[in-house]
Structure 1
Amino acid sequence: MQLAFTRSLFGKQAIATFLVAVILSLVVSAITFSSNLSSSREAITQEFNALLSVIEKPAVQAAFRIDEVLAQQQIDGLMQNKYLLKAEMLDEDGKIFASSSRHAQHSRFYTEMANWLLPEIDQFELVLRFEDRSVMLGKIILTADRESLIEEVLQKNILLLISSLIKDIFLASIISLFFYYLVTNPLQILTATLSDSSRKSMNTLPALSPPGHENDELGELSRVFTNVWQKLSDTHVALEYNIIHTKAIISHAGDAIFLVEEDGRICLVNKASEKLIGRSEERLLGCYMEEFHTEKDWEYFNDLLLSLGLDQPLTLETHYLSDNGIKIPVEIRLIKYKLQHKVEVLLLVRDISARKEAENRINRLAFYDPLTQLPNRRYLLDKLDSFNQSTNEVKRTGALFFLDLDRFKNINDSLGHNVGDNLLRLVATDLEGVTRNEMVTARLGGDEFVMLWPNIEGSEEFVSEKVGHFAQEIINVCSLPKKVGFHELHITVSIGITMFNDVEYDSTLLLKQADTALYKAKDAGRNTYRFYSPEMQAMSDERMLMDKAMHDAIDNKEFELYFQPQNSFDGSCIGAEVLIRWPRVDGSFTPPGVFIPLAEEIGLITGIGDWVMEESFRQLSIWIKEGFWQSHWKLSINVSAIQFQQAEFLVALEMLLTKYALSAKLIDLEITESMLLGDLTVSRKKMNKIRELGVFLSIDDFGTGYSSLKYLKTLPINRLKIDQSFVRDLLIDSSDAAIIAAIIAMAKALDIEVIAEGVETEEHYCELQHMGCDRFQGYYFGRPMPAVEFVKNFSVTSDPTKYI
């Protein structure tokens, strides 16, 4: 029976199949073992490298900080791996910084097997370097427990070998029975082919078609199977490429990408997400979006997510909180969709900090003054409009303050725009210092500021008093000395105020009213404030007409020079003061006290002053040539503060002296005390140079300004001119008499001449003589007159006492 069985095809096939199955199982097991061993080596290597990668960053920090506790914690953490015998951290000099080890005993068999099968698995090193990778901080050395590793590998593979052998034997028996009952003799070739194919690599497709069956069903089956295999292989390659490509796109996207599950849990992020939040991918995955929002923002954002429908894209702006506590403005484009019965939300998050900063910068340029950082005209008008449009049951009153720095142009022209700009900044700081809540302080341009006080409750009388007190507070603050570089500057401010209430108004009209009140304050002598009244508008209109008329007067040369004599103790002429006159059509004159301040405000005073200087020098040269002007006489010329502070004033003075060949001692320049308030150091330097030329210097209107013994002592002054306001009431006001007496005594003590102006009667003349004054000017000696009349009345042939 046994011999017959072995002689039969089935018997031979069965024996052969059994033997082949056993051998194939052993060969495959050996190959599998070899492959598994190789895979195990790679897996072990990867595992240890992964361990090193995980602790690299904290280990670098520990080495950099020389933190032994942190280093030991990392080493102890590594030793939780059962396949480690020893872990050491060495510093940059190779000395042990932290270490840990365990003792394990193994049989000699496993030791030999480990030496044979895992010779390269011994130690793993990680060099610790600083962020720029150029500085070595130390290294970590891990020693593997090879015996435990090989023991586990052998145990796994022996079980696989036994199970594979049993499986193959069982399969061989089934195949034998199958062929015994179903396979006919023609299929023996196919059987042999399949048997042969089964001994080949599983990674390659076997040739299933047996010889001679290329065109039958077996051949067709082989070709179909081959085509299907190829398509599956191509599809697999393409799928792998697409996965890698998609991951690369997501990873390198410029915007942060968050894939969030329906409950808000993050399941996918990219590198931009890590950078935005300041947290690694491992720490981001599994977190909830709520962590990145403030409580208020999340409440709004969560409600929005819950109400958002599927496949409805949405864009919104909010803020994210980074791990370092910074609030980052972001733009989020999100969409909720359903994939395989699972709802997810995809968020594309863009950091818009730069855009927001640019918007804020544009807004600041549009609504704020770049010099003082105060709000500008546009911002102010918006605030006025918003107050106008608002409604409130409580009656509200507002006040608009229009401020202008007095004689700021003098400082700007004499000391330069840099000093002027710094002064404006200091004034802006002072104004902000007195600003109340809800107030707006704005700079309109130049030296003009506006303060808006929008809500003042109370009666009309109470509000007016409160606003007046505040205006005076502004004046007091602005009048304090300002230190700008090496200059100590004194300035004053004039303020125009207009009041308004809830009744609808025009913002531009309010500014115009406040501006009108401002000019009224300037007309009142500056350094004060005035409230707007309807009557002022007519004055403002008149002022605008005069402004135009003055420009026309300059173009048409309508101004004239008049000369008023100056006399000595005995009444004889010692010179004259040049006075400018502006004749009207009716033969009268526009008072200088009206058009001179206006000329200063609108910037015409320098041109007018230059014309007066030129005409005065020209007339004096004519009188000298005609023999009229005496060598001991002096021609007094008023110089405005703005003209005096001009950088080219000295050059112009020297040029005129040279042009008309005049002796400097014939010229007396009259300056006011007010021009010394800007910068005494600069004024002193300029006055010394004028005196070096030989030109006489007088202080005009002495006693009406901020008189100071300091500048009388240190400045090169030749003459004090007592203001006519003291002389006028000399005979009836003992205070004026005392002031004049003090001025005369002080001047004589300092060896300074004194001349009194406004001497209109003989009583004035006699009393001043009695008080020691020896020079006079006034109607008693002669009124201002044209050059021709002056020559007629004060030539050497004239009687010098006929006016006495």
Structure 2
Amino acid sequence: MQNEALRQAQIDLEASRDRYVDLYEFSPVGYITLSPAGLIEQINLTGSTLLGEDRNQLTQKRFALFVAPEERDLWQLVFMRLLGRNGNESCELMMQRKDGTLFHAHLDNLHIDGEQPQVRIALSDISDRYHAEEELRIAAIAFESQEGMMVSDSHGVIVRVNQAFTRLTGYSAAEAVGQTASLLRSGRHDKLFYDHMWQALRDRGFWQGEIWNKRKSGKVYAEWLTISAVKDPKGVITHYVGTFSDITQNKEAEAEIHRLAYYDSLTFLPNRRLLLDRLSQALAISARNGHHGALLFLDLDNFKVLNDTRGHAVGDLLLKEVAQRLRVEVREGDTVSRLGGDEFVVLLEELSVNATESAFAAQMVSEKLVSALAVPYKLDGCEFHYTTSIGVTLFHGHADSVDTLLRQADMAVYRAKRDGRNRQCFFDPTMQSKLDEHSAMVVDLRQAMQRGELALYFQPQMDNKQRIIGAEALLRWQHPQRGLVMPDVFIPVAEETGLIIPIGQWVLECACSQIKVWSEHSATRELCLAINVSPLQFRQSGFVEDVERILVATGADPHRLRIELTEGLVIENVADTINRMQVLKALGIGFSMDDFGTGFSSLSYLKRLPLDELKIDRSFVNDLVTDPNDAAIAKTIIIMGQTLGLNVIAEGVETEEQLALLKQYGCNAFQGYLFSRPIPLSAFEEFIDSVEIKELPWLRKDL
């Protein structure tokens, strides 16, 4: 019996030991015993699994090797504190398995003193808890981000908001919690909008888009809203999370970008880009409904004068007032546009199916606009009177392109200005043929210099004893198909296209070369040669240097070269003109004022100009004998020239009577058909042989 009791006790003891071993070995916590040297003496199966190495290989291995390198110093401090006293200390470390992988661990450390001191460690993997806490921290930070956040239950009742919500809406958490999202409704969206939103949340668990909400202050603002549905494991929606940001500035910026792209910044009228778009739409509508429309091109008369005399600020005030008057005078559906500068366009749509009626309606509107814009303007405390020229063209469907219509209206306004300004003019189809001819002339003129089609003709200039004193070089164009083209035909085209600059330089080079040739012959060395210089060429920044370079290159005597300038060129910028003339005058070049008396001459600047000669315009010479006014003007110019010490030459002299009267008034130089037409160089040199040459005193170098 006693033996049986002992055997049973032994069985119970072994069972108890097995339970202990199981608890020790398979505990969810790793148990590790370290020596005072930090070496592993004992470790359970869980511990070896956590460290990623077989238990047999871990015995007598340094525990610190399984601590992540960056935290070994921390472990060493903890371990040394434990050895220095009895007791326990906990810590959290980043551990490193044998394969190099890392995990977050919690260590409960106990120092046991005795004959063989030990440190016992309970090692737990807390990676899941650490990551969960990290996610909670991130979520907390995200919830308090710069974007507004609102959490509601499944019924839409607000249960939580963040600080950004309060900042963006003006509602505190206490004011918002317990309310529904309708607290923020602006009234700009109808019921259908919200029905679609909730339907998307039910079907897809997600909605995103722009929405207009209202702050506590009552101010409506635009926001970008994202709503996500939160579901439980069974798929039942428990909450909604809304995230939003204020995009009011973005919407305002978009509106500003649109305004800058499609509207004039000064008048806020549609610009060229928007006009072209609306005109294209108008053509499409006209093609569908058969109605005619009209395009009105408006150009303010003499606007440049206002800008130049009163400054751009006053000019801008005028443009704004013009824009306002145009808006008032047209129908609501019509388009008023500013193309730039002082150019406006009015687009009239759906006038009538009848072309005549449409033209009459467009004419009525044009006349009304002319009258409205002619009313005096009060600008900057002063009253100004300005008029407008209008060009009109009709359109019907796609018969003409947008570009063609604009070109037609532009041509019509040009004609209105030509006919006296302050009026309206309809486009005449014959204008198109002139435009085509003009374009062809531009092409031909570009090639004329390369082909050698340009030539200088020479018209003699005579003294009162009919002795030759010089000549004026006049440009001619010998076109292979057009024949001889006169300057009044192609010079305006050259000035318009800028071709006048290379052509003018070519004339200057030819004239200087001819002066050099004449200087080598006794019969021609005393001749003076005059050339015309266009305002565009004269205003070129390098004009003075070009003249000096050409004189040096050709070897021409500058005292034999005379440059003729128009009054318009001189008064455009008197100071700059005088400066350029003085530099050229210092070289020996003479100056003549061409067409004198036809412009706006002023004695105040005339006496400042380094002129040598005044040229009486042919318009005063034509009727000199029969018109007392022309005679008086011619006589006045002659007396003025003599008073200022200037030579005076009359151009356009065609009869003996004109010559006699001019001589009587004291004129001492003449040019015109009475003596010779402009003729080629060979004919001019023959003419020289038949007359006497006289040297003018004011051309001598020694004076």
TM-score by length of 2: 0.65
Per the alignment, residue 631 of structure 2 pairs with: 737
Per the alignment, residue 438 of structure 2 pairs with: 543
Does the aligned pair in 2 maintain the 1:516–1:536 contact within 8 Å? yes
Residues 224-373 of structure 1: pairs in structure 2 closer than 5 A: 241=133, 244-245=136-137, 247-248=139-140, 250-253=142-145, 255-260=147-152, 266-277=158-169, 281=173, 285=177, 289-290=181-182, 292-297=184-189, 302=194, 305=197, 310-312=202-204, 313-320=206-213, 328-335=221-228, 344-352=239-247, 356=251, 359=254, 363=258, 367=262
Q: For the residues of structure 2 that align with 1:326 and 1:266, how far apart are their CA atoms?
A: 21
Task: Give structure 1 stretches of 5+ with no counterpart.
Answer: 1-210, 228-232, 412-418, 481-491
> 1:295 is paired with a residue of what secondary structure?
coil
C-alpha distance 629-236 of structure 1, shift in aligned 2 (>3 A): closer
The answer as to 2:471 corresponding to 1:576 is yes
> 2:520 is paired with a residue of what secondary structure?
helix
**1:455 offset after TM fit, Å?**
5.8
Q: What amino acid is the match of 2:496?
A: E
Per the alignment, residue 540 of structure 2 pairs with: 646
Task: Give structure 2 stretches of 5+ with no counterpart.
Answer: 1-11, 29-124, 328-333, 352-356, 380-385, 695-703
Per the alignment, residue 511 of structure 1 pairs with: 406
Per the alignment, residue 629 of structure 1 pairs with: 524
Residues 558-573 of structure 1: pairs in structure 2 closer than 5 A: 558-573=453-468
C-alpha distance 757-550 of structure 1, shift in aligned 2 (>3 A): same
Provide, for residues 476-498 of structure 1, a one-character-per-residue CA deviation record: whole Å limited to 9, x for no partner: 999x9xxxxxxxxxxx9997723
Does the aligned pair in 1 maintain the 2:516–2:557 contact within 8 Å? no
Deviates more, 1:756-765 or 1:610-619: 756-765
Q: What amino acid is the match of 1:434?
A: V
> 1:580 is paired with a residue of what secondary structure?
strand
Provide, for residues 338-395 of structure 1, a one-character-per-residue CA deviation record: whole Å limited to 9, x for no partner: 7798875432213445755665576467546899998654322102123334579997
**Richer in helix (by share):** 1
Q: How many residues align?
A: 556
TM-score by length of 1: 0.58
The answer as to 2:401 corresponding to 1:500 is no
Does the aligned pair in 1 maintain the 2:188–2:212 contact within 8 Å? no
Q: What amino acid is the match of 1:570?
A: K
Per the alignment, residue 96 of structure 2 pairs with: none
Residues 37-76 of structure 1: pairs in structure 2 closer than 5 A: none
C-alpha distance 305-669 of structure 1, shift in aligned 2 (>3 A): same
Q: For the residues of structure 2 that align with 1:763 and 1:440, how far apart are their CA atoms?
A: 59
Q: What amino acid is the match of 1:741?
A: K
Residues 289-688 of structure 1: pairs in structure 2 closer than 5 A: 289-290=181-182, 292-297=184-189, 302=194, 305=197, 310-312=202-204, 313-320=206-213, 328-335=221-228, 344-352=239-247, 356=251, 359=254, 363=258, 367=262, 377-390=272-285, 397-401=293-297, 430-435=318-323, 436-437=326-327, 439-443=335-339, 451-454=345-348, 460-461=359-360, 463-464=362-363, 466-467=365-366, 470=369, 497-500=391-394, 503-504=397-398, 506-517=401-412, 531-585=426-480, 588-631=483-526, 633-688=527-582
Does the aligned pair in 2 maintain the 1:617–1:656 contact within 8 Å? yes
> 1:714 is paired with a residue of what secondary structure?
coil
Does the aligned pair in 1 maintain the 2:303–2:342 contact within 8 Å? no
> 2:492 is paired with a residue of what secondary structure?
helix
Q: For the residues of structure 2 that align with 1:636 and 1:350, how far apart are their CA atoms?
A: 76
**1:257 offset after TM fit, Å?**
2.1
Q: For the residues of structure 1 that align with 2:632 and 2:214, how far apart are their CA atoms?
A: 77
**1:579 offset after TM fit, Å?**
0.2
RMSD: 5.0
The percent of aligned pairs where both chains have the same amino acid is 31
**1:637 offset after TM fit, Å?**
0.7
Deviates more, 1:659-668 or 1:373-382: 373-382
C-alpha distance 234-542 of structure 1, shift in aligned 2 (>3 A): closer
Does the aligned pair in 2 maintain the 1:334–1:348 contact within 8 Å? yes
Does the aligned pair in 1 maintain the 2:408–2:427 contact within 8 Å? yes
**1:622 offset after TM fit, Å?**
0.3
Does the aligned pair in 1 maintain the 2:284–2:397 contact within 8 Å? no
Q: What amino acid is the match of 1:647?
A: S
Per the alignment, residue 10 of structure 1 pairs with: none
Q: For the residues of structure 2 that align with 1:650 and 1:264, how far apart are their CA atoms?
A: 83
**1:566 offset after TM fit, Å?**
1.4
Q: For the residues of structure 2 that align with 1:522 and 1:558, how far apart are their CA atoms?
A: 33
**1:511 offset after TM fit, Å?**
1.9
Per the alignment, residue 696 of structure 1 pairs with: 590
**Richer in strand (by share):** 2
Per the alignment, residue 621 of structure 2 pairs with: 727
Does the aligned pair in 2 maintain the 1:311–1:336 contact within 8 Å? no
> 2:670 is paired with a residue of what secondary structure?
strand
C-alpha distance 535-586 of structure 1, shift in aligned 2 (>3 A): closer
C-alpha distance 453-717 of structure 1, shift in aligned 2 (>3 A): farther
C-alpha distance 373-279 of structure 1, shift in aligned 2 (>3 A): same
Does the aligned pair in 2 maintain the 1:403–1:495 contact within 8 Å? yes
Q: For the residues of structure 1 that align with 2:465 and 2:423, how far apart are their CA atoms?
A: 43
Provide, for residues 189-234 of structure 1, a one-character-per-residue CA deviation record: whole Å limited to 9, x for no partner: xxxxxxxxxxxxxxxxxxxxxx999879x99xx99xx99xxxxx99
> 2:598 is paired with a residue of what secondary structure?
coil
Does the aligned pair in 2 maintain the 1:441–1:451 contact within 8 Å? yes
Does the aligned pair in 2 maintain the 1:265–1:289 contact within 8 Å? yes
Q: What amino acid is the match of 2:363?
A: S
Counterpart among 665, 681, 699 of residue 787 in structure 1: 681
**1:596 offset after TM fit, Å?**
0.4
Per the alignment, residue 99 of structure 2 pairs with: none
Q: For the residues of structure 1 that align with 2:448 and 2:388, how far apart are their CA atoms?
A: 28
**1:657 offset after TM fit, Å?**
2.4
